[in-house]
Structure 1
Amino acid sequence: MMTANDTYFDRLGAALRAGGMPEAEVTATVADLTAYVTDGAVAEGGAADPAEEFGAPEEFAARLTGGAPVEEPSGGAETWKWTTDIYNDRRLLNQYGDQGWEVERIDRVGRYVCRRDPSAALRWEYRREPANNAKERAARTAGLAPDAWEPCGHWAFYMYFKRPKAASAGPAAELDTLVPVPGERVVFGKRLSRMLLLLGLSVLALAVLYVCGYGNFVAEHPWVLAVMAAAGLVGGVAGWRGVKRDVTRNVEE
């Protein structure tokens, strides 16, 4: 027999699919949120209502897939896509938010998809929160909603929230003049630039060794290749964990 909760999550799944979320992620999201509600019911000794926890399923799905539906921009609205690294993202988001840029979503390659309507421009402010899965994203969203924060996208193990700056600054947040659309599309800081330079030099060194005949030596000694692969794997895992730690600690340049 289907319960009210089953109906809610069926509607949520349908809305997530309509919002463009991949089927595998829809399945995982619904499963995590169902477990979240069930765990809460067990802990509190009563039946949990997902509508009270998350709101209407269609509205909640819109937030999870990149923000609540927005009004269609006017014909003169400006659009801009750009990206940066985790050591500069919050600073730049708030800098550009002060110029009236609203992040609508983060696309599949990690770019912030922004728009600004010159006829009704507002200042925006942003924050980033760690969130490893759909359950944590839902908890973050519910916890920040009372302060007018709404999600505007997620990437890897963190998500971004936005709100009009008027929520914190009042009339002082009004935007009277607009600066031109920024020319930047990719803005990397010194930390990431050094990492990319080191990676490039490592690849170049391997290419030089191969040209100099080192490839034949590796072919004759397979254990060397195994050591190199293991070192690369360890380095990759260490780098991933380091980035995740920096996100959690809010490390900035």
Structure 2
Amino acid sequence: MSEQSDYFGALAGRLRAAGMPRSEVTATVAELTGYLAESGSTDPYEEFGAPEDFAARLTGGRAAQEPAAEAETWKWATDIYTDRKHLNHYGDQGWEVEGLDRLGRFVCRRDPAAAMRWEYRRENAGNAAEREAVTARLAPDGWEPCGHWLLYMYLKRPKAASAGPAAGLDELVAPPARKLLLSTTYRGKLKQMLAAAVVSGTASAAAVHYGGDLVMYPALIGAAVATPVACALGWRRVKREIAQGVEDA
């Protein structure tokens, strides 16, 4: 436990030094401590990496180095069905991903004075050992990790590695106004989950309204069972689609 205390103490110090508000630091450390306990892991170094590197990812790289005063920054989020399409689209506009924050948003930076095109890829890697193996396998081709989330990790490299001189940028497109880019596939799944929640809530409300009427018990029990089952099946389907690399049509 002392090792965990030392780790999170060092992490908290790095986050504060990077400018994260004290209340947010406290909430972040509490969330990460809870996640570690739920995962059954006892080694935060194996799960999150070195405190200074993890702090840099959580703060968009500010703990490692401050961006130039003229640099543009942009945080945005998407889903697994369009993430690679958006990453490479905006990478062509010079946006470099420096990490993912604790909400799963891509933290990007672009220096107008030295912008270049970037390309991205996503690999399946659910733990530290798998991420290390992926990093070692792809490093010879110039890929480097730029963040991970749940069951997968992202890697980046300058597009000059594959496109040569064509990777240069003559002019920059204005920073995007949108910060949430959701696919039609994801929106459809979200509607299904909301529909299941509505069914469960309606059955519960009816049971409360009719009190102890035995006729409502089957509906209440069915809703209580169906909702978590539907969520579990949905999560299994998402994991399978991650492994298969499914993209939005």
TM-score normalised over the length of structure 1: 0.72
Q: Are 2:94 and 2:118, in contact at CA under 8 Å, matched by a contact in 1?
A: yes
Letter in 2 for 1:215: V
Query: One-letter code of the match for 1:182?
Result: P
Q: Which residue identity does 1:166 align to in structure 2?
A: A
Matched, 1:240 2:235: yes
Q: Which residue of 1 aligns with 2:247?
A: 252
- Aligned residue identity for 1:179: V
Deviation, 1:138, is 1.2
Quote the offset at 1:32 in angstroms: 7.8
Q: Which has the larger radius of gyration?
A: 1
Deviations 1:89-132 (A, max 9, x none): 00000000000001111111111011100001010000001112
2:3 matched to which residue of 1? none
Partner in structure 2 of residue 190 of structure 1? 184
8 Å CA contact 1:94–1:125 kept in 2: the answer is yes
* Alignment check: 8 A CA contact 1:32 1:135 kept: no
- Secondary structure of the 1:103 match is strand
Counterpart contact for 1:100–1:121, Cα < 8 Å: yes
Residue in 1 that maps onto 2:208: 215
The letter of the residue matching 1:74 is: A
CA deviation profile, 1:17-54 (whole Å, cap 9, x unmatched): 47768464984465689xxxxxxxxxxxxxxxxxxxxx
2:93 aligned with 1:99, yes or no? Answer: yes
Conserved? CA contact 2:200–2:224, under 8 Å: no
Residues of 1 paired with 2:75 and 2:166: CA distance? 27
Q: 1:53-111 CA deviation, whole Å, 9 max, x = no partner? A: xxxx97x9738974988654221110101111100000000000000001111111111
One-letter code of the match for 1:194? G
RMSD: 3.4
Q: Residue 129 of structure 1: SS of its match in structure 2?
A: strand
Q: From the superposition, tell whether residues 232 and 206 of structure 1 become closer, same or farther in structure 2 (CA, over 3 Å).
A: closer
1-side partners of 2:212 and 2:124: how far apart? Answer: 44
Residues 124 and 152 in structure 2, CA contact (< 8 A), matched pair in contact too: yes
Instruction: Check conservation: 2:96, 2:108, Cα contact below 8 A.
Output: yes
* Equivalent position amino acid for 1:92 in 2: H
Q: Does 1:200 align with 2:197?
A: no
| Residue 73 (structure 2) pairs with residue 76 (structure 1) | no
Establish whether residue 167 from structure 1 lines up as the match of residue 158 from structure 2: no
Shift of 1:242: 0.7
Paired residue total: 218
Contact 2:101 2:107 in 1 (8 A): yes
Distance change in 2, residues 1:207/1:121 (3 Å): same
Alpha-carbon distance in structure 2 between the residues aligned to 1:210 and 1:229: 9
Gaps of 5+ in 1: 1-12, 34-56
Change (3 A) 1:92 1:73: same
Q: Which runs of 5+ in 2 are unaligned?
A: 1-6, 16-28
TM-score by length of structure 2 reads: 0.73
Letter in 1 for 2:69: G
1:249 corresponds to which letter in structure 2? Q
Partner residue in 1 for 2:105: 111
CA contact (8 A) 2:94 2:117 kept: yes
- Equivalent-residue separation in structure 2 for 1:86 and 1:108 (angstroms): 17
